[in-house]
Each structure stands twice: as C-alpha cells, then as structure tokens.
Chain A
Amino acid sequence: MAATETNLVTVTFDGRELQVAPGTPLVVAAAEVGIEIPVFCYEPRLGPPIGACRMCLVEVEIGGRAMPKLQAACTMTTQDGMVVRTAATSAPAKEGQDAVLEFLLLNHPLDCPVCDKGGECPLQDLTFRYGPGTSRMTIPKRTYEKPLPISPSVLIDRERCILCYRCTRFSSDVAEDGELVARERGARSVIATFEERPYVGAFSGNVTELCPVGALLPTPYRFKARPWEIVNVPTVCTGCAVGCNTWVTLREGKAERVISRNHPEVDEGWLCDRGRFARHEPLVERLAEPLIRDSSGLHPATWEEATRSTAQRLRHVSALKGAGAVAIVTGGNLTNEEAYGWAAIARSVGARTASGPVAAAGEWERLDPYAARIDDLDRSDLIVVIGDADVADRAGVVDLRIRKARRAGAHLAIVSAGGTILERDAGSFVAAPAGSAAAIVAALAGAGAAPAGVDLADLGARLAVASHPVLVVTDPIAIALIEQLAHTLRLHERGGVLPMPRGANERGARLAGLSGGGDAVLAGLESGEIRAVVLVGLDPTAEWPEAERWHMALAQADHVVTVSAFVNSAVSWSHIVLPQTVDHEREGTVTNLEGRIQRLRPVTKGPSGRSDLVAIAAIAEVLGVPVAPTPAKVYATLAADLTVPLSWSQLNGRAPLPSRGREARAPKKVAAPKAPPAPAAGRFVLVAPRPLFAGPAVERTAALAHQRAPWVMLNHADADALGVAEHDVISVTHAGGTHTGPLRISRRLVAGAVRINWAGAPATGDATVVRS
C-alpha cells in the first residue's frame, strides 16, 4: 500500500540500511537485515515487550546524537535516521551484553547435565554464542528448595530462573488467569503461584515451552530424554476440533511428550493441557487382538477371521433384510481416510451412517459461505459466544484467541446460562435459560421470540453495526438455525460464524461420506429395522445422549461389531471386536472446525501393530469394493471426489485453508425451536456440557487427575435457599447418574440451574440438588 510505503523510516543496523515501518521493535527490524539480536524475554505473542532480561542491549544513535546509555532493542522502536550498533560492531554493546550474561548466570546453577532443558535451552545456546566463556563467580550461589511443583504437571526450579517474566506474562496477559506471579523484590524475586495455590489453568503447560531456561519443566517429561536422543514427529492433536499442530517427541519407541508446532492460523503455538499431557498410557485395557463371540463368550481371533466375518455378517444382513438394515456409527474421531473406507463399506451394503449424535447439528457444509476462520477472531470487532458450554471446553485454544481479540479492542458478548470462565472477561453478558442456545439463535435471526426475560436488543444493535462480527456457537444445535442467522446478518459479506463440533473430526467424517446422525440410527434400532450395527471408535452408551435407550436398542441387534481402542461397555455385548489405534498411532488427515485438512503422522505403533485402514480395506475387499490400505492413496481419491485442491504432499507443515466460495443462497425458513420444558418444583435445570478434561486419555493420565475433580455450581440465591455454602459437598442426581462435588457459587449462573463438570454421557433435563 502506498500510504505505508511513504511512512517508512530509514534505520541503519551495523552499517546495513533498512526501510522499515516506524515503531517496529529493533530486534524485529534487525532480523529483517539478517542481524540477530539475542533475546530471552522478548516474545510478541505475550503482548508488548517489557525489557526484563536486558540481553538485547544495543548502542543507538538518533540524528547523529548517541543515546547516553545502551538501549534494550526489544522495547526501543524504530525512528527515522536511527543508527543501531549491536554487540557485533560496538564495544560498549558487547561489554554490556557480556555483563548482562554474567549477571544472568550469577545465580544460575549451571547444572546443565542434570537439567532437562540442556541441549534445547536458549540460555545455554546464547551463552555459548555470545557469552564471555568463563565465570568470575567464586562465592556460593543463591539456593532454593527444588524442584517445587506449581501444579501436578509443572515443576519449578527457582535457582535456574532468570526472571524474564515470560511465564507470568502468559498467565496474566494470554490465559488471563493471573495464577502465576512474581514474589519478593530484587535478587530474591521468585516465580510462584498466587497464594501458593496450584496453577490449575487449562493452559498451564504452555509456560514450560515459553521458559527460556530449565526453570519450568513438565513433570511427565522429567528425565525422560535428551534433545539429541529424540525424534520430533510433526502431527496434529485430535483432542478436539481445533486441530492444534504438534510435535510428538519419540524416544525408544515411546511418545514421551507433546509440544506445540506453531501454526499461526490455528493455534499460534499454544496448546491446552489436555492436548499436551493427556496420554493413552499406560496402555491399560487396550485391545490388542480381534475378538469373536461364540456360545461361550469372546475369544481371540486372527485379523483375517475377524474382518472376513464382519464383512460376511454385513452382507448377509443386507441381503436378507434389504438396504437400511445395517448401520455404521462413528464418533467423529476417525481420520478422513478411515471415514471414507467405512463410507465405501456402507454404500456397498446399503447401510445407514452416522458421524454425530444429531443429524441436524452435523450439516457443517451448509455454513461454508458464512464460515469464519479461527484467525478471523483477530480481525473481529465483535465476538458473540452463544451456548452454555465454555469455549475452552469445546475448543481449547480458541479461548486464548478470543481473549487476544478482546485485548485488541473487540467487544466480547456472551449469551449463556452463566458460570463459564470466559464470561468473567466479557464486555457484555446476557443470561439466558439453560439449553436455550437454539432459541436465541432463532430469535437473533428473527425466526422466533427470545426466551422470556432475555433482552437481545443491545446484542442485536451491536451485530447490526459491527464491521467484522464473529459468531461462536458452542452448543450443538441445528445447523439450519445457525445458517439462517448467518444469512440474516449477512455474514458472507463480513465476519463469519464459527460453530464448534463435538467430535474432533465430525466435519471430515461427514464430508468423507458418513453423513447422518445417531438419532435416526437409534430410532431404526428400536423399530427393529436395523439388525446389524458397526460402532467405530464410539460407545454411544457412554458418549452420546440417550445412553439408556442406546443400551436397550443395541442389546436387540443381531450383530454388533465394535471397533475400539479400549475395553468399553460396548465390547461386553459385541459379537466382533476389532482393536483400534489412538491419536499418535494413526496416519491420515483430519478436518478441523474451520474445514482445514491437516495431516496426522503415526508416532508409535498400537498394541495390535496394524493400521485401522488395513482392516477397513480387508473388510471392503470381501464386500468387493476397492479401498486402498494406505492413507495417501485414499486421500487422493477423496480429494478428487471432494475437489479439494490440496495434494497429500501439500498437507505437510502448516496446512493451508482452501479458499471457499462466499456465494450464499437464502436458506429455507426454519421453525423456531421449542423451549426446553421447565423443571418441576424443587428441581433444577441441568447444565452439563462435556468438560475439556474428559475422555479415555484424560482418565488414564495421573497428571490431569486434579482437572477432573468434580464440582457443582449454583446461583447464589439458590444456594441461600438451599442453605448451602461455598465448598459444601453437594450431590446432583440426574437421569445419567449422580455427581458429587464441592459447591461453587456463581452470581451469573441463572437461577434455577445447576452446572456440573459431568464427564459421562451427555446429560440434559432436570436434576435434584442435595447436600451430601
């Protein structure tokens, strides 16, 4: 743009001239001419620079006049006519830098051989490259008790800390939890948690990656490997539908840790603690070989027998009972290629399919003209979050992105039953009855009246004038409603909508051919129309609504084939069980909530030692449909079918998001949803969105046990009425079971509702609340 070009200023770095925008930090400008200024505390993702470490000292001259002292190149910004001399050409800068390093190492224990950071440590590397080489320190160094856990998954070694404040800035300015603070003053400063409470934020693991020394280290990775003994495999997290890019560290055949692989358009280099620490290890209750049921129970079988028998049963049922007698149900955790394979099998036996619990909430492609990218949040001036589930619970790092946009000036409006973490920082909050997300979307779209007592006028006015509004819908509601709202707001011309699928790859599974919802399959099973079911990576009695009905319906089916990684309740009444691989054992592609196709790479081998696609190809072969047993070949077919303009090799590294057409057609008018029934007297409306820390991997990770601790949340008026106080142990009994935990009192949670962090089968309806 011409306007910016005329605004450029001329800065000289070590004799090299550069045209740069005014106000650029000197470290960034120097990098543009290929000059490295070493830094410890500078990290643009953490907000404005603070100049804490002083490693970046340079000599600066403006307009021919030298500044009297050395300047920090991270806080100093470019001005016209500036002449900067770094330590490479300036003796005072070199002397200053040496002195800074000497000060930084004054109390640093130099225990690199025992420190896990050794070998990938910025302090080690920069000392080696820029440091004086010898130490003049002869007196004893400052010592502290070490290592100290600041949370069950992060350890702090305060002796090694150089007080760069990256971690506290992350806590206060990125995650905005304020749990990590600096205590004391001067040389006695230490990083600690607020009031010695453990750091329990959902993003605490990021500080271990930010720390430029070995002061904050992840407990599960303690003394596991050294950087030269490992292979970092680039892959994608499949914990939720965001698809954060990760490196998985492999040592001696074991996945030892997960670290971020910064994709600026997706995760900006952040990971939630679930993606970072949840591990399918130890491999307790993992299925290692296929099982076939005979009259005396389940018995081990060969893959050949199991796949052949599966194919024959499906063919037999469909030949005998006609099309629609077979159902293939998946939980939205398959790769696109596996979903394609199952879809091919489904077509050959005329099976019904499902990739999510409710068909209406899974038609993602209808939103394509209005779809927002995750980085649209950065550009937005209004973010509206609708739904009772917290954004962090549905799509971990999107929460950090929303906070970043809010700090940059976007207005954050939240419409929910209250009690979420994000609403504390929201610009406006509209309390809505529990479970009314659909009604609110409809009301905003003009397709119905707002629920009683909900005033959407202010929100509507803001939406009308915003230049780049982004709608975030966290509850699974009918896509047709969201589409209508998006069209009413003309979101194909400005901003967009960002719905949050429940399953990690629900969207991809549907595109690969597994359309449909579990509701139709359940009805078919109950009417006896469906006689054979294949459950792929899913136990509907534990993960989907209507668990009780699923249990009864599946017990009536003639053939149940379960494809599962773990022994779950579905296995106990299956006729054939096929072992499945989990996150780091898979190869293929997954589609995230934006529609971005990203590649998964296998890091380790599952206990069965066989890829799922090989088994799918074997079943398909018996049925006479060709499915290639390698993901690359299946992807090629899939990409051609879907006209995805990206080849397999283009999915390497940071996968791009293919551009989509924004031509929107007016959607059909949809009827306003029915309001959820009011609870009976003395009962509470249940708000139980699935928490972030749930699922088989989290349950098997000891370091995350504290995140799963149950709690109950009530409105303060309801708590007063019940005569219960904060931290009292409360029992909530609902259709899915009983949840007992200490009470949290909220002023925003709507009266008459009870919020719980229930990790079991999705529960709705009403509940009784008693003190236990």
Chain B
Amino acid sequence: MLDQVKGFSVTLRHLFRKPVTQEYPEYRRPVYPRFRGRHQLHRHENGLEKCVGCSLCAAACPADCIRVVPAENPVEGRVSAGERYARIYEINMARCIFCGYCELACPFDAITLGNDFELSEISRDALVYTKDMLLAKPERRTPSKSVELYDVPVQEMERVLGMYDVITATNPEGAPE
C-alpha cells in the first residue's frame, strides 16, 4: 500500500512539471555547429565553381552516393577554375550517411556539409540532389547553436536536458551528482 502511494507520488510529481518533450516542428531544436547535414557546393568569389570534378569525394564516399561526370571546361564561359568541371554532380541523399568524408577528401574545399537535416521527401527520386540544388542555398534552414555555447558542452547539455543524468567528461559513469 505504502509502496503504491510512493509510486504514484512520482507520477503526481511529474504531472505538474513542465514537459521535457519538444513539439516538432513547432519547436526546432538547434543543432551543434559541427552537426553534419545537407551538403553544400561552393563557388569562388568570381562566381566560378570550386569543384573541378575530380571525383575524389566519390572515391572517399563509403555509401557510394556521389556521382560525378566531368567534362572539359569550355574556353568561353568557364564553369570551374580548372581544366575540367563537374558536368553532373549528384548526391543521393537517401543513401548518404552524412559521414563527411567527401568534405575531407575535397582538395579544393568545394563541398562542405551544412546543418540541415530536414531532407525528407515523398519520393526517392527527389532525394537525388543535382549540382544546381547543391550549389543553391538550402530551402529550409536548421538553426544551429552558437560556437560559444558549443565550446562549453557540459553546462549546455545540462541546461537543455535538465534533470537527466548526463555522461560527460567530468562524469564518465553517468552517475547522479
């Protein structure tokens, strides 16, 4: 009997607490700055594409989701800064595991991974991102946290997650403090 009261008292106590659940998409939780989301292809300041179509990203990709078809850069109306450019550059977002190896492999910093993770579509075909889509800014932006906050992760996580026990560098066992 006493055990039952004790048990329900926990339930009662939580009934009057502010819920920890965040209602998505009304509330979009910011991600960390180094969160790896949708890719972005970049241009030089003069408008030429940084990508020269070398396919090193495709070579590095463990999910085999990048397809690059290079072509000779036309003398009139150059596309990239090199002799070649990526005539076709496609990333299959349905396959991508967002590991960021393409970013590491790129010798020209032409591809980076952004923060955006809201990429769902109602058809698989729409998840194959073409070069134009990757060069354009993302339609939906996911907010990211400031770098300052990210640099102090323990307090930040505790603030967000409140009462939950957190495995941190200072508390490796995850034991309650």
Contacts and interface: CB of A to CB of B under 8 A. Distances in A.
A113 B72 contact: no
A111 interface: yes
A128 interface: no
Interface stretch (B40-48, B55-63, B134-142, B155-163): B55-63
A223 B55 contact: no
Interface in A86-135: 111-114, 118-119
A229 B55 contact: yes
Contacts of A224: 70
B71 interface: yes
B84 interface: yes
A223 B70 contact: yes
B174 interface: no
A114 B54 contact: yes
A228 B58 CA distance: 9
A221 B83 CA distance: 14
Contacts, number: 38
B82 A113 contact: yes
Nearest to A118: B54
A114 B52 contact: yes
A119 B70 CA distance: 15
A114 B82 contact: yes
Contacts of A147: 83
A226 B69 CA distance: 10
B107 interface: yes
Nearest to A113: B54
Nearest to B69: A252
Given A222-B72, A223-B70, A114 B83 contact: yes
Contacts of B54: 112-114, 118, 226
Contacts of A111: 82-83
A103 B90 CA distance: 39
Nearest to A252: B69
Max chain B C-beta neighbours (<10 A), residue from A222, A223, A252:
A223
Contact of A113 (B52, B69, B71): B52
A112 B56 CA distance: 11
B108 interface: yes
B37 interface: no
A229 B58 CA distance: 8
Given A113-B82, A113-B107, A114-B52, A226 B72 contact: no
Interface string A221-242: 0111010110000000000000
B53 interface: yes
Contacts of A113: 52, 54, 56, 82, 107-108
A226 B82 CA distance: 16
Contacts of A119: 59
B70 to A, nearest CB: 4
A119 B54 CA distance: 10
B58 A223 contact: no
A229 to B, nearest CB: 6
Given A111-B82, A114-B83, A223 B56 contact: no
Contact of B53 (A146, A223, A228, A252): A223
Nearest to B81: A114
Contacts of A146: 83
29 contacts: A111-B83, A112-B54, A112-B107, A113-B52, A113-B54, A113-B56, A113-B82, A113-B107, A113-B108, A114-B52, A114-B82, A114-B83, A119-B59, A146-B83, A223-B53, A223-B70, A223-B71, A223-B72, A224-B70, A226-B54, A226-B55, A226-B58, A226-B59, A228-B55, A228-B59, A229-B55, A229-B58, A229-B59, A252-B69
Given A114-B52, A119-B59, 14 more contacts: A112-B54, A113-B54, A113-B56, A113-B107, A113-B108, A114-B83, A114-B84, A118-B54, A147-B83, A222-B72, A223-B71, A224-B70, A226-B58, A228-B55
Interface of B: 52-56, 58-59, 69-72, 82-84, 107-108
- In order of increasing CB-CB distance, the 10 nearest A-B pairs are A113-B54, A114-B82, A226-B55, A223-B70, A228-B59, A223-B84, A113-B107, A114-B83, A114-B84, A114-B52
